Amino acid sequence: MESTHLRALTALAAQQHGVFSAHQADAIGVDSGRRHRAVASGLLVRVHPHVDRFTVAEFTWRAAVRAALLQSGPTATASHESALWLHGVGRLVSFEPAITLPPGGRAAQVGYRVHRYCDLTDEHREVVDGEPTTTLARAVVDVTSVVSLGRLAWVVDQLTMVERRLRLGEISRCLRQGNRRGRRRIRNLQVVLDERLPGAFVPRSRLERRVDDLIRASSLPRPVAEYPVPGWSRGAGFVDRAWPEARLILEVDGRPWHARESAMAKDRARDRSAAAHGWQTLRVLDEEVADAPGAVIVDLERTYRSRIALLG
């Protein structure tokens, strides 16, 4: 390997905990033949089919995460325990890098595991110390599938009460956005949140005050209160707030998680009825309004504008 190429590759690997991808090496001018010879000579170690590391570099957990991301390509995001590690939360189970890929991405290799989700939005992603990863709230939701109920409760308490890095509403919002069929042990997180959220049913008057105060402070026009559910024929039915000019409905849920789950079929039926008449329904949680009001308003304003543009 030529000295100029070696220096460039060494400098790159030093920024990535000692590892680099085949694509990165090719861009520097170190082709696969040179890398194979370097592996044979002991200068490099093959970590994954498309990732090598310098032998002198210690293979730390950060190097393992970076190697998994490099092997999986630019759409990979560190998630689950890896995301909690990157956010500074201590080890939960024996460490194995975990990443999330969209459907159809590269397969996992020995030494890390891959999760595939269609619901990983930009709101759930960030960069921590140069690594693409999920947000702390999304990491809590994701890790529910791989830890015990007791360990999950510890994580939630540590982040919301001890370190105060998250609020329960932020976790609830992320859970609502990603609460879909097929998520393992997701009810464990619902149980943990129910035990920590104050009270049972939130009084309707308090819900309405919170929502109206939030809307008044935004750029949204004043909505109509207690608007009839469009097309609903199963008895009297009203939505919390509606913007008829945008055919947009806002429903705010103050029920505990176990009650939300039991009422989900009726909620979806109401949403389908409204959708059949050209209306879109946004459902948010009371704890979102209390703990993540900015995100709720961004959702509302963005959706209102898109509805007005669509109908205009």
**pLDDT digit string, tens, across residues 56-93:** 999 999 999 999 999 999 999 999 999 999 999 876 65
Exposure of 139 by Cβ count < 10 A (0-12 exposed, 13-18 middle, 19+ buried)? buried
Are residues 27 and 98 both part of a single domain? no
Show which of 196, 220, 253 is a domain's final residue.
196
**CB burial string 263-299: b at 16+ within 10 A, e below:** eeeeeeebbebbeeeebbbbbbbbbbbbbbbebbbeb
pLDDT digits (tens, 9 = 90+) for 160-182: 998 999 999 999 999 988 776 66
Residue 123 φ then ψ, to 5°: -65, -25
pLDDT digits (tens, 9 = 90+) for 9-64: 999 999 999 999 999 999 999 999 999 999 999 999 999 999 999 999 999 999 99
Are residues 130 and 175 both part of a single domain? yes
pLDDT given at position 103: 85
- When pLDDT is cut at 50, 70 and 90, the band that residue 195 belongs to is confident
Are residues 17 and 33 both part of a single domain? yes
Q: What percentage of the chain carries pLDDT values higher than 90?
A: 63
Domain around 44: 3-57
Are residues 192 and 91 both part of a single domain? yes
Are residues 75 and 107 both part of a single domain? yes
Map residue 190 onto helix, strand or coil: helix
- Measured between alpha carbons, how far is 106 from 34 in angstroms, rounded to an integer? 25
Show which of 57, 80, 100 is a domain's final residue.
57
- Measured between alpha carbons, how far is 110 from 20 in angstroms, rounded to an integer? 17
CA 198 to centroid of chain Cα atoms: 25
Pairing of strands 238-243, 113-116: unpaired
Strand order in the sheet with 19-21: 19-21, 51-54, 44-48
Number of folded domains that form the chain: 3
Are residues 71 and 186 both part of a single domain? yes
Are residues 53 and 69 both part of a single domain? no
Q: Which helix (H) or strand (E) holds 249?
A: strand 248-253
| Total length of the chain | 312
- Measured between alpha carbons, how far is 106 from 108 in angstroms, rounded to an integer? 7
Are residues 285 and 186 both part of a single domain? no
Are residues 41 and 76 both part of a single domain? no
Residue 306 φ then ψ, to 5°: -70, -35
Are residues 50 and 104 both part of a single domain? no
Are residues 227 and 293 both part of a single domain? yes
Are residues 237 and 304 both part of a single domain? yes
Show which of 57, 81, 100 is a domain's final residue.
57
The residue among 282, 273, 201 whose CA lies nearest residue 235 is: 273
Q: Which helix (H) or strand (E) holds 156?
A: helix 149-157
